[in-house]
A and B are shown apart, each in its own frame.
Chain A
Amino acid sequence: MSARVSLFVTCVVDQVFPNVGMAMAGVLERLGYAVDFPEAQTCCGQPAFNSGYREDARRVARHFLDVFEGADYIVAASGSCTSMVSHHFAELFPHDPVLRARAEAMAPKTFEFSSFLTEVAQAEDFGARFDQVVTYHDSCHALRDLKIKEGPRRLLRGVAGLELREMDAAEECCGFGGTFSVKFPGVSGGMARTKIESILKTGASTVVSIDSSCLMQLQGAISRAGLPVRTMHLAEVLASR
């Protein structure tokens, strides 16, 4: 099997967390996939869409469709961006049957990283080792739009040396919400701190998620509070030796 996988690393991973993208590529290659990175990729357009600028979002979405049109599988480093492509792209083109059809055709081959591993690759063993106590943060769009709940946990439990501890507020939003985080910084920061309290109660050293934006929010608030907890994307954990 050497099916081809096209990485969509997302703009946040590309610019801020490049190691997440490298880890993701490494895990997929170890499973035997031919991984490519369409270089013309940028962003899914979600920031504009969520901020009410649909015309701008449409422009970015059209670019995305052009870049990834020929892909067999698109594997994204984020639940939120995956949901943008698979759930909202089609909505963006209510009056344009051609673009709508292209968006609809792209949806079923677009996967969030962990769900690609559990549903398509159906892999269990990545040879990963991570000797830490870990807690998992359910990112909202992965959980509620993509219904991803058990998959990432199963993958984590398969990592040698790793102990997974559930926090009581696993499903509560971290408070990021894109531009919400800077439009209502006090509310957003308060939400992060509530989440962090729940993380601390588990005694975990590491909080893991499949969305780097949530982790950027949590890491920022953890670092501001000077707490000894670190954040990691699932791909980085699965690539640990």
Chain B
Amino acid sequence: MPTAFNEKISQTLGNQKLQLALYAGTGRLVEHRKHAVAEERLPEYQELRSHANALKKHTIEHLDHYLEQLEANVQAHGGQVIWCRDAAEVSDFVLDLAKRRQARLIVKSKSMTTEEIDLNERLEHHGLEAVETDLGEYIIQLRGERPYHIVAPALHLTRYDVADIFQEKLGIPNETVIEKQTMIARSVLREKFLAADIGITGANFLIADSGAVVLVENEGNARLTTTAPKIHIAVAGIEKIIPRAQDLGVFLKLLGRSATGQPLTVYTSFLSGARREGEIDGPDEFYLVLLDNGRTKLLADPDKRESLYCIRCGACLNICPVYRKIGGHSFPWIYSGPIGAIITPQFLGIQHTPALPFASSLCGACAEVCPVKIDIPKVLLDLRAGVKEGPGKAKSDWLERLGFHAFAWLMCHPKAYALMGRFSRLAPLLNIGPLRAWRSQRDLPAMPAKSFRQLWKERG
């Protein structure tokens, strides 16, 4: 019985146009990254990765301490920290604030954390208008879609797809020139920025010792989101924190390069609270929403908590040969690719996505490019063991389980194994189960008349 996951995979594999866009889009990002971190351009790359890993490890292991420090510093700048356990608590807070301030229009800059909690849908459900202002996010919002990729949300679309949606939603006929498309979006969004009551952003980093929120971006829309409206709300997962302002350099050097091959993104904004006396810009009110939404569950698991080190650069998606075939929308949640495969089961519960950790050849390309050195294949293997041997193991796996028990028994009994080997010469005659799956794509190897052990014996 094909699952939703398998169904979406087949759809993506069968869509030739999408396959080309996907392979080309990720391929470009792979090349850019490779160029940017090459030995001659960034000789300290490996040291930076180790340093970033050590910083993340330290921070995650002392998260409570740094979160308290962060809260105190945000408050000292006149901001407020809102602790939220889950999606509902975030939307309740925003809705309540909007009501009190009679706000209607919200501009948003790209944030996977707000995607994670369906914030737009929740706000729109209550009559608010939430507009995405990052170009890619804007396009997919028009299409009523979810981001295809954590860094490049519209990676799956060509400029012709964009022309189609602009025609349908904005009534602008047949504009296929990318620069002109950008200008169209810009003029629509400018109006929104000017009229918006609230700006909502994510956060790339939260600095504990200064209370600053750091945002990196290329379009300037995040900067406008944080300064044009009277109210700025930053929504961030609790793992986004780093201890000191001086630690930021390590991450900034890695993030842009790993994501798009840029030594630094076009804009890096440091936001510490609302506008103060005598300052000319900044919002009147600033709120930092710190979201748990399952993160503390990961924190409690020493074997897999490194999953929280992620800085959402997207490098593991681009290099992943599986992501490059099945794309972002095949994944059950908004986090796709290797990082999605390890955090989705941990956030949502493994019983909801038991197939996900198995959708990998364990090639390890992800771990090789990860700027914070998350050992993704190791976490996948741990998750697999959890699915098959953990408390919630599925009854429906009984045949497979039996198969592996038989395999292990056979491999511990060399005589039986050798005998079985003789029968395996008949495998090409069968077309069931795994053999059938194999043959759906490939030919079976011609089975030799004799095994190695037979040849070796005959050789004497």
A residues with CB within 8 A of B:
9, 11, 13-19, 21-22, 25, 37, 39-43, 45, 47-57, 59-60, 62-63, 140-141, 144-145, 171-173, 175-192, 194, 216-217, 219-221, 223-224
B397 to A: closest C-beta gap in Å: 9
Task: Output the least CB separation between A81 and chain B (Å).
Answer: 12
**Smallest Cβ distance from B211 to chain A, in angstroms?**
40
Residues in B whose Cβ lies below 8 Å from that of A141: 364
**Smallest CB–CB gap between A144 and chain B, Å?**
4
Per-residue A-contact encoding for B426-445, CB less than 8 Å = 1, 0 else? 00000001100110111111
Residues of B within 8 A of A49 (CB): 381
Within 8 Å CB of B361, what residues of A?
Answer: 140, 173, 175-178, 180-181, 188, 191
A56 touches B443 (CB 8 A): no
**Distance, CA A191 to CA B13, complexed state (A):** 11
Binds A, one of B234-242, B260-268, B448-456: B448-456
Instruction: Name the one of B322, B411, B445, B456 contacting A220, with C-beta atoms under 8 angstroms.
Output: B445
Closest 5 A/B residue pairs (Cβ): A177-B361, A189-B441, A220-B442, A52-B388, A52-B384
B321 contacts A194, CB within 8 Å?
Answer: yes
- CB of A18 within 8 A of CB of B451, answer yes
CB–CB B362/A41 < 8 A:
no
Contact B452 A18 (CB under 8 A): yes
Contact check, A217 vs B456: say whether CB atoms are below 8 A apart. no
Within the complex, what minimum Cβ distance (angstroms) separates A73 from chain B? 18
| CB-CB under 8 A for A18 and B450, given A52-B384, A52-B388, A56-B404 | yes
**Chain A contacts of B452 at CB under 8 A?**
9, 13-15, 18, 21-22, 37
Contacts A39-B414, A42-B417, A63-B411 given; indicate if A15 touches B451 (C-beta within 8 A): yes
Contact B447 A53 (CB under 8 A): no
Q: How far is the CA of A50 from the CA of B407 in the complex (A)?
A: 13
- Bound complex: CA A192 to CA B412 (Å): 32
Q: Which residues of A contact B459 (CB under 8 A)?
A: 22
Known: A21-B452, A217-B442. A50 touches B364 (CB 8 A): no
Whether the pair B367, A144 counts as a contact (CB closer than 8 A) is yes
Instruction: Please determine whether A53 and B401 come into contact, CB atoms closer than 8 angstroms.
Output: yes
Q: Cβ of A21 and Cβ of B411 under 8 Å apart?
A: no
Q: Can you list 19 A-B pairs with a CB-CB distance of less than 8 A?
A: A14-B453, A18-B452, A40-B414, A42-B412, A48-B404, A50-B384, A51-B388, A52-B381, A52-B387, A53-B404, A56-B408, A59-B409, A181-B361, A182-B433, A183-B437, A220-B438, A220-B441, A220-B443, A223-B442
Contacts of A62 in B (CB 8 A): 412
Q: How far is the CA of A143 from the CA of B58 in the complex (A)?
A: 30
* B-chain residues with CB within 8 Å of residue A55 when the two chains form the complex: 389, 408
Q: Which residues of B contact A183 (CB under 8 A)?
A: 355, 358-359, 437
Q: Which of B219-276 contact A (CB under 8 A)?
A: none
Size range of the chain B interface in the assembly: 35 or more
Across chains A and B, the number of contacting residue pairs, with CB separation under 8 Å, is 195
Chain B residues with CB under 8 A of A9:
452
- B444: chain A residues within 8 A (beta carbon): 220
Other A-B pairs beyond A43-B411, A221-B442, 11, CB < 8 Å: A16-B445, A50-B362, A52-B358, A53-B389, A53-B401, A54-B389, A56-B408, A62-B412, A63-B411, A183-B355, A194-B325
Asked whether B44 is an interface residue with its Cβ less than 8 Å from the other chain, the reply is no
The answer to whether B421 has its CB under 8 Å from any CB of chain A is yes
Contact of A51 among B364, B384, B450 (CB under 8 A): B384
Q: Which residue of B lies closest to A12 (CB)?
A: B445
Taking the complex as formed, is B141 at the interface, i.e. its CB lies under 8 A from any CB of chain A?
no
Judging by beta carbons under 8 Å apart, are B411 and A42 in contact?
A: yes
**Residue B152 at the A interface, CB < 8 A?**
no
With A49-B381, A55-B389, A173-B321: A185-B424 Cβ-Cβ less than 8 Å: no
- In the complex, how many angstroms separate the beta carbon of A187 from the nearest chain B beta carbon? 5
Alpha-carbon separation in the docked complex, A39 to B414 (Å): 8
Inter-chain CA distance A56–B411, complex, in Å, is 10
CB neighbours (8 Å) of B388 from chain A are: 51-53
A173 touches B448 (CB 8 A): no
Q: Does B360 contact A (CB under 8 A)?
A: yes
Please tell me which one of the listed residues A13, A37, A40, A182 contacts residue B438 in the complex, with CB atoms under 8 A apart.
A182
Quick one: which of A52, A140, A181, A223 contacts B363, CB cutoff 8 A?
A140
